[in-house]
Structure 1
C-alpha cells in the first residue's frame, strides 16, 4: 500500500492529511512541519506518524509539499539531494499557487513525477473542490491511487495545467468571497431584527442548499434565480438592488484580480 507524507501541516496540509486518513490506514501517513510540535499534535489526533521533511523525502510514495510558494525553493533545495539518492519511485504533490510542474521539477533538481493540485479550505470538512493535473511522469495506476486517497477531501476535477490558475481563482479563492457574502447576509438579517446566530444559520444553510441544488439539478443559475423571483415580488427587488450596486461585476472583478495576481506573481 502506498505511503503518504505531508511536509507542512498548516491549514491546507493538515486538512488534506485528515482527508487521506479517512481513506487509508493512518499508519501509512507521515506528517512533518517546521514547528515539530504542530506535526506531533496532528499525528496524535489522526493516529499517524510524526516525521521530518528529510525522512518523508526519503521514504514516502506521495510527498505533499504543503508550503507557501515563497518557501518552496528552500524546501526543495533541502530535500533535493535526498530525492536524488532514492532508488524507489515517488511522486511530488504540490499545492503552491502559481508554481508549474516544470518549475517544481527545476527547483527539485530532477524531472520527477509531479501532481499539481489546488485545493480549498472546505476540504477540511470533506467538502472541498480540488483541482489537479498529473505531469507526464505519473502513471494511470498512480493517479488512481492518489484520487482514491483524496476522495475524503471532497470533489476532484482534472484540468489542463494552463487552466489551473483560472480554476483556483474561482474555487481556491472563492471561499473568501462566499464568506464575505455570508457575513453581509447575516448583517442584513441583524439589521432587520434577527439575532446574529439565527441570521448566520439562515444565511449559511441557504448557501449550502443553493449550491447543492445547482450541482445536483444541473440547471443554469439564471434559471434557478428566476424560479425564486415572482413577478412583482420581494426577491426581484433584492436582485434589483444587487444589480444596481454592481454585484455581478464586482464578483467577476474579484476572480480576475486573483487570477492576474497568481499569474503575475505566483503568490
Structure 2
C-alpha cells in the first residue's frame, strides 16, 4: 500500500519536501494550502492533490502529516486538523513551536518536530529530528522512513533543534556567500568565473 503523505503549507520548505518525496516515487502526495497559482502548478508537476480546507485534507485520510506552515500560524493550523485519527503521526517543521504546544491542540497522537534544509528537494537534505521518548510504533518508523528518503536524518533533543536549524539551514548559505566572494576575487585578478568555480 502506498502511504499518503500530507504537506500542510506548500511554500518554499513544503515545496522542497514535496519535490523530494515525489522523486522517490514511493508516496501519494497530498497538500493543504490557500489557493495559489504557484502551488497549483507545483501540484500538477508533482501529481499532488492539494486542497484549501482542513476538513477536506482530513477526509483524504493521510498516513502522515508534515506541517511546514510559518511558526505564527502553526498552532492554529494544527488545531484545524484535530479531527485526524489519533493514530495519524504529525511532524512539524515550524521553528520555535514545541511539541508541548502542538500536543495541547492535537491531543494524544504521535508527534515529532524537525528542522530540514532545502536540499531535501533533491534528496540530499540534512534533517534534525526530535522524536519524543514515548513515540509509539509504527509511527516512529514511518516518520524516520519518510524523512530518510529526503536525506540524512539526525536524531537530536528538541532543545537542540534551533542550533541544528542555524547550522544546517543557514550554514550552507554562509558557505555559498563565501564561495561567491572567493570567485569574485579570482575574477578581479583575471581568472574566468567558470574556472574559479572549478577551483573552489
TM-score range, shorter chain: 0.7 to 0.9
Equivalent residue, structure 2, for 1:76: 78
Equivalent residue, structure 2, for 1:176: 173
Equivalent residue, structure 2, for 1:154: 151
Equivalent residue, structure 1, for 2:57: 56
CA contact (8 A) 1:7 1:56 kept: no
Runs of 4+ off more than 4 Å: none
- Which is richer in helix? 1
Indicate how the Cα distance of structure 1 residues 57 and 129 shifts in structure 2: closer, same or farther if over 3 A, else same: same
Aligned residue runs from structure 1 range 1-267, under 5 A: 1=1, 2-26=3-27, 28-54=28-54, 55-58=56-59, 59-77=61-79, 79-80=80-81, 83=82, 85-87=83-85, 89-106=87-104, 108-136=105-133, 138-203=135-200
**Who wins on radius of gyration, i.e. which is larger?**
1
CA contact (8 A) 1:8 1:67 kept: yes
> Runs of 5+ in structure 2 lacking a partner?
none
TM-score, structure 2 as length reference: 0.86
Indicate how the Cα distance of structure 1 residues 73 and 144 shifts in structure 2: closer, same or farther if over 3 A, else same: closer
The offset of 1:35, in angstroms, is 3.0
| Aligned-CA RMSD value | 2.2
Indicate how the Cα distance of structure 1 residues 139 and 53 shifts in structure 2: closer, same or farther if over 3 A, else same: farther
- Which is richer in strand? 2
Aligned partner of residue 7 in structure 2, secondary structure: strand
The offset of 1:45, in angstroms, is 1.0
How many pairs are equivalent? 197
TM-score, structure 1 as length reference: 0.66
